Structure 1
Amino acid sequence: MDELVLRAQRFINTTYGGVSGIPTVEENGRTSWAVMYALTRCLQYELGIAGLSDNFGPGTLGALQSRHPRLDASTVPSANFCRIIQSGLYCKGYDGGEIDGRYNDRVSAAVRRLKADMGVAGTYSGDALTPKVFKGLLNMDPYTVVNNGSSRVREVQRWLNGRYVDRRDFFIIPCDGHHSRDVQKALMLAIQYELGMADGVANGVFGPGTRTGLKEHTVRVGTTGAWAQLFTAAMVLNKRDTPFAATFTAAHSETIEGFQLFVKLPATGIGDYQTWASLLVSTGDPTRRGTACDCVTEITPARARTLVAEGYKYVGRYLCNVPGTDLDKMIKPGELEVIASNGLRVFPIYQTYGGAASYFGHRQGTSDAYSALEWARYHGFKAGTRIYFAVDFDALDYQVTDNVLPHFRSIKSVMEEHGPSFHIGIYGPRNVCSRVGDEGLTSASFVADMSTGFSGNLGYTLPLDWSFDQISTITVGSDSGRIEIDNNIASGRDSGENSFAPPQVPDSGLDADFDMSRRAALLEDIQKYLVSKDIPEEGGSLPEDVVQPNSTTDAFNKIMGYDAVITRVARRLRIRKALLMCPLLWEVRKLTNLDSFADDGVAVYHTKGDWDPTDQWIKRDSSTGLGQIFAVTAINARAHAVRQGDIVASILDPDNDSHVWTVWKQLKGDDAFNIAAAAHTLIHGAHDVGIPRPGLDYSDEHTRRTLKRYRGFGDEAERDSHIQLGLYQVLEKHFAPLRGR
């Protein structure tokens, strides 16, 4: 907590607490957007602006410019006006001079330092606070290097501020050593100003006027002045290891040659138009013709001939359609042979929806991985194929952290066990691809660079592992050979596939995703059946100190939330979905507070060096997670699955505490892992009791005995198995009609 930031927060609340439109801020001593927005509103109030807002926009800037173009000790209009300045300085990390309403020597020195850090001290000399500097004061932009920022990037940022801050639409950018959307726009504005564009014409967009102008400003060894500075600035912002300079040298030429090789441009070592474009905008020169493409349209023989004639070698096609939509984009029977016979190679793309952050997460990633593997094998893709999983939206950085990374962690987990011979790729904006690749979750990136306005593209460099770079949508060919494609540059990292195995058509008897319009009817039948077996909607015949947290409805809702995962696991292992769902639903419904006590005891056993050995709750293992599975049980079941060829994984030792703890944590914390472990436990249980492996035509008696073994041994397991068989039959009543759809 910063005591002086706390004083600034108290100043806001005390002085403006009764003013409509100025919210109370939390007094926590931490700078935040909420504090900066509040200070902006306080300033607007002091300026007499009606309709206070968080935005330090043209109205606020214009009012300052007309009334207070230079704020210093002799011109600051009031003590509270000065306190706003002082509060902003403290929130920005500068000495605000006690927030006493006096523009004293400390405030004067702080403003000078602020302008120097911004790079505008030469433009705005002295200690006066000018309108654009005030705007920069009341935001969260840093003006010193933070979070391992680059000093070279900061040099570029300060130069841009100092040279162009007096232009009408140029506002002070951060000087933190990090490239960003705002920095990218500032560089584009600078280029447009140097091209002679007037205020109001220059807009920071890579449009026709900018493209035409850059064609007349090739940079080569010996170029000096602003154009050399702008070009080397663009190099620095693209993470090229080169100095920002006013003269373009032979060393710069060598560095840009490396960049040209990286983005697949002719390695000339000069800053021609196409190199400018690749440095400035995600598409680069959008008129470049690539050697790869992707499309939603079937590649017929005529279309294949068109693509070959146009110079294309690789084509991306979709493994499946999106459920519930009319768009038919998936690979058609025989299409892969057409592609290969015409000398083309294909790379597969998996995308159902993927157009919002809410789609992505552990659960969906698990489902997508199983589904993609099934579709890849259905079409005949062989070992070594890379499948590109799509992230088709402008994911902000926190959404990558919270949604996309967990999604791909689950994809990798499933692929490693069920499709280790397949490689994982990603389609998405630059930042998404880079972050997922940097974590080792993918091996190549198909970059959605055509979306130039995406925040995940602006200010981010092309991923180091890029394989295809999507830069434009074009139409080629005529008549029956006419086809619309996305035109892609190929790096050579992925050469696609041109040889295919016989398609593995899924058995028509495999289960399908549940039709959620029938959800209420299924729940009603489950409730009626369980009540008939003396299992009420809530609670049960248990001692008073034993609490069951889940009702039948709670358990049903939780398990149905995993319907897609349960379906994919059942399909992959060729078992009945009802057989897997039955013990999961049963265990969640039967969960009690005693299970939580047991879980806590396992955590104590494995993490605390000093515990009471007489404590009955402290043990090395307990049944945990959705399916209430012991780690030892899961280890043995997974070992059996490895030996049977169902998964590829290391065989762990059930007598090794470290192995038990590792698996136990997965069972407890990863529901998808627990679901798969439940399936393996059912299969291993059947083996244990000497009956056939669960399959699609399993008898009722074998089903009952498998469910009994899942519960254990003895009278309770025997009794429960008969009740669970009935529950299985209720589920089958609703699942069977959906097969083969």
Structure 2
Amino acid sequence: MADEMVVRAQRFINTTYPNMLGIPPLEENGRTSWTVMYALTRALQLEIGISSLSDNFGPTTLNTLKSKYPVLNAGTVPSANFARIIQSALYCKGYDGGEIDGKYNARVAASIGRLMSDMGVQGSFPDSGSLYPKVFKGLLNMDPYVVVSGGSASIRSIQQWINGRYISRADFYVVACDGNHSRTMAAAMLYAVQYELGMADGVANGVFGPGTQAGLKDHTLSIGSTGTWPQLFSAAMILNQRPGVAFSGSFDSSLSSATSAFQDFAKLPVTGRGDFSTWASLLVSYGDQSRSGEACDGVTTITAARAAALKAQGIKYVGRYLLNPSTTSLPEKEIQPGELKTIADNGLRCFPIYQTYGRDADGFKYPAGAADGLAAVNAAQRHGFKNGARIFFAVDFDAYDYEVTDSILPYFKGVEDAMALSGNPYRIGVYGPRNVCIRVSEAGHATASFVSDMSSGFSGNYGYPLPPNWAYDQIVTKTVGSGSGSINIDIDIASGRDTGENSFNPSVLDSADTAFDGAYYPALRSDTSSYMRSIGFPDEDSNRIFTHSECLETIMSHDELITDLSHTFSMRKALIQTSAYWEMRHYDAVDLAVDAAVVYYHTGVGGGVISPVRDSSTGIAQISGEVGIRAWNHCIAKGFVTGTTLDPAKDADIWTMWHRVNQDNAYAVRTVSLIHLWDAGGKPGGKNPPAGETVMRPMSLGYTQSEIFQVLRRYQGWGDEAEEHATKRMGLYQLFEKYNGLSRM
């Protein structure tokens, strides 16, 4: 809803400072936003004589304000426009700003007083009706100073207390008093600890460094402790959402009991005292990094010597990766042949981790989750994990809350649906920052969390408690062992909610594809139907020519040919099956009309409402004459096949190839495999992206997931649509590969 006084504030900025603030005119919509606050900040900078304007109310703005106008009130405000900036900002924060008439009157003074009271700093300045520089800084942002939705009064009281106690310190600024823990509040707590330890301004920096740690070791709290330290400790407990804790300056039996409960939950020594390890776990996500963890994860093969080193370190559980998306880095990241047996034989247990790249939100959507869920099942079964193991799917980046909503949750729904489609052979876990783990688990998509607490700077860790279902808590990287037993690992605290696996089925080595076992056809048909429906393709669609069954039957009727092509080119059958099925499934009425136009162009027969067209993607695999020619020419030149090269510049040759892929399904299927070889070769002579397609390593049965994705993407072309479709095809690929794999056994 538009606020008329905010409209007036926006209009004041637009009319008073036209083309003067270095920003476009504000939309006069009556809605408060960072854009409006930035404009007011720039206007303030202009009024106090700063020539280089910016959105940031930084040190230059603050120090200039302190120097020129250390106290602003009716007697000191320098101009009407200066006063209007204050009045406009008050309305944007929800306070009465008078009439935006340039007068610092009693209404404005009263609102400044209420603002300072809401901030908790009213007792920290001489006059509650005057505006001071740090309060002005807090006025020109979007931080609330009243409890907002989801906030708590107890946390707000802590925020107000910390503001009032430390506002006079040089590097401390007003924090929001909205009743919610946050990154800013977590940093403020560290500043508070450092101030209480006696660190001078300029030394205190909000970092949990050696000086802070050493100081906390000298401030263990126990029953009977009183003063500021119990206040800080109880505040930290409340901020970590520990139940039944009161914000208090007394460490009493109730706080001791709550401390014991937290220590037990976080797997700390249960002492009931506010000792260093407990302080550390409350203040930073990784806690006391000198702790010994019973679990670890790493990218190095576990040999017998390394297993002995891990056991000597007290390790019981080892996290290892089901796949390695790279062909050039971390060669031992994926579980190696025989490694799980070595782990079990040496008395260790293994928990599997699934991660491709996943370094930003773009890689996390429903189709990607469905594809990864299927890929994880295939990989886990190939390595020998028995039913019931829990796979931790990784979100290895600092996902903001909106990205969790928009991308991560749909991704895990895809994983969950893929696991159900596979018969739920494995349980689902989530690896990531605290907020990711909490929200994925609360949505019901994961049963346990592996928390990336070592990344303490992640916004998803700052201000969030340890998830209730945490299984592993990653806290530090270190090297253990020596000689052949030396291994670099991430140390993880184990809660006991997951204990990994110590018994495995025999691993299944990569082997050549074989003829499809027809006994699996009903299951393949059902699973591919379910998957395609999950991404928006009903079995029968009036917009498309072929049904699901017709497409699958057509592709599988060429199984003998596809098996032969797989052997000849060291290419997984699933690559050929996926591309052919996907393209046939997309064939629609528009394609038929364009086909007729191509026939008319070359023969003069037919025609219709579409103008003559020289070439188009056609046939069950949607191959154009030009693409077919270039793929065949490339493969002939490389010696993959024999035949006569054609010229894509000649109409007769375009027609020859187009007619073949349109009329001869077997020829089209064969051409799919050649297009994949051409794609892997960099698509020489084709329509490439600006920098050209890279040359991939030679086609191999051992292509990684990223290489498979590239081949599927290149079949369609370049750009966002090709990327999106390739992501969806990956799930289809995994289903074909699942049943091809069963046929190989």
TM-score, normalization by structure 1: 0.73
SS at match of 1:36: helix
Deviations 1:12-60 (Å, cap 9, x if unpaired)? 1111113152431111111111000000000000011011000000000
Deviations 1:442-473 (A, max 9, x none): 11111111111111111111111110011111
Inter-partner Cα distance in structure 1 for 2:585 and 2:470: 45
Moved more, 17-26 or 224-233: 17-26
Greater Cα shift, 324-333 or 89-98? 324-333
Equivalence for 2:121: 120
Among candidates 171, 185, 188, match of residue 183 of structure 1: 185
The structural deviation recorded for 1:246 is 1.2
Distance 1:720 1:326, change over 3 A: closer
Question: Cα 1:148–1:403, aligned 2, differ >3 Å: closer, same or farther?
Answer: same
Query: Are the aligned partners of 2:661 and 2:667 in contact in 1 as well (CA < 8 Å)?
Result: no
1:494 aligned counterpart, secondary structure: coil
Q: Secondary structure at the match of 2:172?
A: coil
Equivalences for residues 226-305 of structure 1 within 5 A: 226-241=228-243, 242-305=245-308
**Does the CA-based 8 Å contact 2:512-2:701 persist in structure 1?**
yes
- CA deviations on 1:600-623 (whole Å, 9 max, x unpaired) are xxxxxxxxxxxxxxxxxxxxxxxx
- 2:429 paired with 1:431: no
Alignment partner of 1:395 is 2:336: no
Q: 2:64 and 2:278 mapped to 1: Cα distance?
A: 42
Q: Distance in 2 between matches of 1:198 and 1:360?
A: 45
CA distance in 2, matches of 1:410, 1:172: 42
Residue pairs, 1:531-570, within 5 angstroms: none
3-state SS in 1 of match to 2:205:
coil
Contact 2:662 2:668 (8 Å CA) reproduced: no
Deviation for aligned residue 1:63: 0.8
Moved more, 486-495 or 391-400: 391-400
Residue identity over aligned pairs, in percent, reads: 56
Native 8 Å contact 1:118 1:143 kept in 2: yes
CA pair 591-138 structure 1, distance change in 2 beyond 3 A: farther
Which residues of structure 1 form unaligned runs of 5+?
512-545, 549-569, 596-718
> 1:155 corresponds to which residue?
157
- Say which is worse superposed, 21-30 or 69-78, in terms of deviation: 21-30
Contact 1:547 1:592 in 2 (8 A): no
Amino acid at match of 1:379: H
- Cα distance in 2 for residues equivalent to 1:263 and 1:594: 64
Alignment check: 8 A CA contact 2:416 2:445 kept: yes
Q: 1:392 to 1:547 in 2, by over 3 A?
A: closer
Q: Tell me the equivalent position of 1:730.
A: 671
Contact 1:294 1:316 in 2 (8 A): yes
Cα gap change, 1:456 to 1:318, in 2 (>3 Å): same
Between the aligned partners of 2:142 and 2:148, the Cα distance in structure 1 is: 12
Higher mean alpha-carbon deviation, 247-256 vs 207-216, is at 247-256
Change beyond 3 A, Cα 1:508–1:56: same
Q: In structure 1, how many angstroms separate the alpha carbons of the residues matched to 2:39 and 2:276?
A: 45
SS in 2 for 1:472: strand
Shift of 1:590: 2.0
Change (3 A) 1:738 1:594: closer
Count the aligned residue pairs.
Answer: 560
Per-residue deviation, 1:393: 1.2
Separation in 2, partners of 1:202, 1:295:
35
Residue 138 of structure 2, aligned match among 131, 136, 142 = 136
8 Å CA contact retained: 1:362, 1:409 = yes
Alignment equivalent of 2:367, drawn from 323, 344, 363:
363
CA displacement 1:295-314 (0-9 Å, x = unmatched): 11111111111111121111
Q: Is the 8 A contact 2:354 2:394 kept in 1?
A: yes
Aligned pair 1:29/2:30, yes or no? yes
Match of residue 67 from structure 1: 68
Quote the residue 1:460 is aligned against: 464
Q: CA 1:299/1:578 → structure 2, altered by over 3 Å: closer, same or farther? A: closer
Residue 40 of structure 2 corresponds to residue 99 of structure 1: no
RMSD of the TM alignment (CA)?
2.4
Separation (CA, whole Å) in 2 of partners of 1:722 and 1:254 = 79
2:485 to 464, 481, 484: 481
Call closer, same or farther: CA 1:194–1:576 in 2, change over 3 Å: closer
Answer yes or no: is the 8 Å Cα contact 2:21–2:42 preserved in 1.
no
Q: Which moved more, 1:581-590 or 1:331-340?
A: 581-590
Match of 1:582 in 2: 580
Supply the distance in 2 between the matched residues of 1:407 and 1:506 (Cα, whole angstroms): 28
How many angstroms does 1:721 deviate by?
A: 9.4
Is 1:194 equivalent to 2:196 in the alignment?
Answer: yes
- Does the aligned pair in 1 maintain the 2:21–2:39 contact within 8 Å? no
Tell me: CA distance 1:578–1:257, structure 2 relative to 1, closer, same or farther (3 Å). Answer: same
AA paired with 1:501? N
The structural deviation recorded for 1:178 is 0.3
Q: Hey, what does 2:420 align to over in structure 1?
A: 416
Contact 1:234 1:280 in 2 (8 A): yes
Query: Does the residue aligned with 2:462 lie in a helix, a strand or coil?
Result: coil
Equivalence for 2:329? 326
2:19 is equivalent to residue 11 of structure 1: no
What's the secondary structure of 1:492's corresponding residue? coil
The correspondence for 2:312, drawn from 297, 309, 312, is 309
1:308-348 C-alpha deviation (Å, 9 max, x unpaired): 11211111111121234321111111111111111110101
Q: CA deviation at 1:151?
A: 0.6
Task: Decide whether aligned partners of structure 1 residues 74 and 115 sit closer, same or farther in structure 2, where only a CA change above 3 A counts.
Answer: same
Determine if contact 1:509/1:739 at 8 Å carries over to the other structure.
no
Shift in CA distance, 579/266, structure 1 to aligned 2, threshold 3 Å: closer
The amino acid across from 1:334 in the alignment is G
Query: How many Å apart are 1:225 and its aligned residue?
Result: 1.1
Letter in 2 for 1:503: S
Cα distance change, pair 51–209 in 1 and its aligned pair in 2 (3 A): same
Structure 1 residue 268: deviation in Å?
Answer: 1.2
* C-alpha distance in structure 1 between counterparts of 2:589 and 2:230, whole Å: 69
Instruction: Kindly indicate whether the alpha-carbon contact (under 8 Å) linking 1:547 and 1:593 is maintained by their aligned counterparts in 2.
Output: no
Moved more, 585-594 or 421-430: 585-594
Shift of 1:504: 3.1
1:48 aligns to what?
Answer: 49
Rounded to whole Å, the distance in 2 between the matches of 1:103 and 1:193 is 35
Please state how far the C-alpha of 1:369 moved relative to its aligned partner.
Answer: 1.3
Q: 2:166: which partner in 1?
A: 164
Deviations 1:651-699 (A, max 9, x none): xxxxxxxxxxxxxxxxxxxxxxxxxxxxxxxxxxxxxxxxxxxxxxxxx
CA distance in structure 1 between the aligned counterparts of 2:117 and 2:585, rounded to whole angstroms? 65
Q: Note closer, same or farther for the CA distance 1:417–1:42 as it changes in structure 2 (3 Å cut).
A: same
Amino acid at match of 2:147: V
Deviations 1:352-377 (A, max 9, x none): 21122222222322221121111111
Confirm or deny: 8 A CA contact 1:510 1:740 kept in the other structure.
no
Q: Per the alignment, do residues 593 and 297 of structure 1 end up closer, same or farther by CA in structure 2, a change over 3 Å counting?
A: closer
**1:66 positional shift:** 0.8
Structure 1 residue 196: deviation in Å? 0.2
Q: Larger deviation: 494-503 or 17-26?
A: 17-26
CA contact (8 A) 1:39 1:88 kept: yes
* Deviation for aligned residue 1:729: 3.4
Q: Which TM-score applies when normalising by structure 2? A: 0.72
Distance 1:199 1:589, change over 3 A: same
- Shift, 1:575, TM fit: 7.0
Alignment partner of 2:586: what SS? helix
- Match in the other structure for 1:224: 226
Change (3 A) 1:352 1:580: closer
Q: Distance in 1 between matches of 2:26 and 2:138?
A: 20
Correspondence for 1:608 = none
| Secondary structure of the corresponding residue to residue 387 of structure 2 | coil
Report the Cα offset of residue 722 of structure 1.
5.0
For residue 346 of structure 1, what is the aligned residue in structure 2? 350
Q: Structure 1 residues 735, 547: closer, same or farther in 2, change over 3 A?
A: closer
How many Å separate the matches in 2 of 1:256 and 1:214? Answer: 16
Aligned letter for 1:218? Answer: T
Within 1, Cα distance between the matches of 2:384 and 2:543?
52
Other-structure match for 1:58: 59
2:381 aligns to what? 377
- 1 CA distance for matches of 2:574 and 2:67? 76
Q: Secondary structure at the match of 2:472?
A: strand
Unaligned ranges ≥5, structure 2 = 516-541, 545-565, 567-571, 594-659, 678-697, 703-745
CA distance in 1, matches of 2:463, 2:41: 27
